[in-house]
Amino acid sequence: MPLPHLRDLRHDALAGAFEHVGVERAESVSRRLILALHGRGALDWDELPLGRSAGRVREHFRFEPLLEEARVREADDGTRKFAFRLRSGEVIETVLIRNRANRTLCVSSQAGCAMGCGFCATGAMGLLRNMTAGEITESKARIERETGERVTDVVFMGMGEPLHNYDAVMTACANLNVQDAAPIARKRITVSTSGLVDAIDRYAAERQPWRLHLSLHSAIQETRERIMPIARLHPIRELLDSMRRYQESCSVKWVTLQYVALPGVNMDDAHVDALERELRGLRTILNVIPWNDTGADFRAPTWAEVKDFTTRLRRLRCPVKVRYSAGKQEGMGCGQLSAETLAAAPSTGHMIAPPGIFTA
């Protein structure tokens, strides 16, 4: 059995793991390593302050680099996409979004994805494998070192379904938030799911403190099944009931629902009516995302179509936001991550943002 990697261990389990293998002053050693691993972003043994414990720790744990930088691309708006190769050969992508003083890192949780959503480039890859907690957090450490900038927000909206890799993602979240290092605030860590009901219920039962967003995209069962195969397993009312349980259990004032706007698919009056009907009793923020071209058989909406849709959404009497995807013309927007293994999407199929309307 391979030795455990130090970055894969949850920070509050480190001292116990050291005690178990006989590391002297395990608590003190673990505190120093937490600062090095999750504060300074150490990447190799030479950067770990092990002192006299080095021999014992090296005997029982691994700490080789988990990622190799494959490519970096930068868009005109400053958004940067980093492609990393995992040691097993797969390539994953992570996007750094600059918005005023904030630096948001959109991280991947899987190489590929099993959900198969029709509007998403990652879904066309299928699932190659889950990422480990260490691989997830190492991507942050490498990007901070490369850019010299501190990440302020992390969103699990890159490649993969985070709740399909539940344990590793929850460990990564805890290590990103560790208070003994340079923590990312818990409310600045967001996990996005396509709707795995059992995992949502577990998330609620464990009272996980990270924000949970639901990728809804339609409140009509037939439409959702057509664009999101997971809907065949979890009908819309069962899914939204799980979000109500989450809202109550975790005392969440507003639940954010993501809604990719697809003309001719989910933007007509019937879909607005369905949202009004199905969302009753759920305090929501509706986050409308104009579809970003992935080469799939959809059309990006015009600004006039988005404005008309959001105007009709006012009758839901909930906050409605329009999210413009930074770097979309360079394949860095929502739904476009595919490790560049797929054919490049046409550059003309995006909705261009009117000046002053959207922010990155």
Give 340's pLDDT tier (boundaries 50, 70, 90).
low
334 is an active site residue = yes
Q: What is the pLDDT of residue 75?
A: 85
24 is an active site residue = no
Model confidence pLDDT, tens digit, residues 188-229: 999 999 999 999 999 999 999 999 999 999 999 999 999 999
Mean pLDDT of the chain: 90
pLDDT above 60: residue 360 = no
Q: What is the pLDDT of residue 61?
A: 97
Catalytic residue among 69, 120, 334, 340, which? 334
Q: What is the pLDDT of residue 330?
A: 64
Nearest CA among 10, 5, 4, 6 for reference residue 170? 10
- Domains in the chain (CATH in brackets) are 6-60 (no CATH), 67-330 (3.20.20.70)
Q: What is the pLDDT of residue 331?
A: 67
Model confidence pLDDT, tens digit, residues 246-301: 999 999 999 999 999 999 999 999 999 999 999 998 999 999 999 888 888 899 99
Q: What is the mean pLDDT of residues 172-194?
A: 93
Q: CA-CA distance, 306 to 207, in Å (whole number)?
A: 35
Model confidence pLDDT, tens digit, residues 117-155: 999 888 888 999 999 999 999 999 999 999 999 999 999
Instruction: Indicate the angle between helix axes 166-176 and 133-147, nearest 10 degrees.
Output: 40
pLDDT above 80: residue 51 = yes
Name the residue with higher pLDDT: 357 or 270: 270
Give 359's pLDDT tier (boundaries 50, 70, 90).
very low
Q: What is the pLDDT of residue 335?
A: 78
Catalytic residue among 93, 135, 144, 278, which? 93
Q: What is the mean pLDDT of residues 307-332?
A: 85
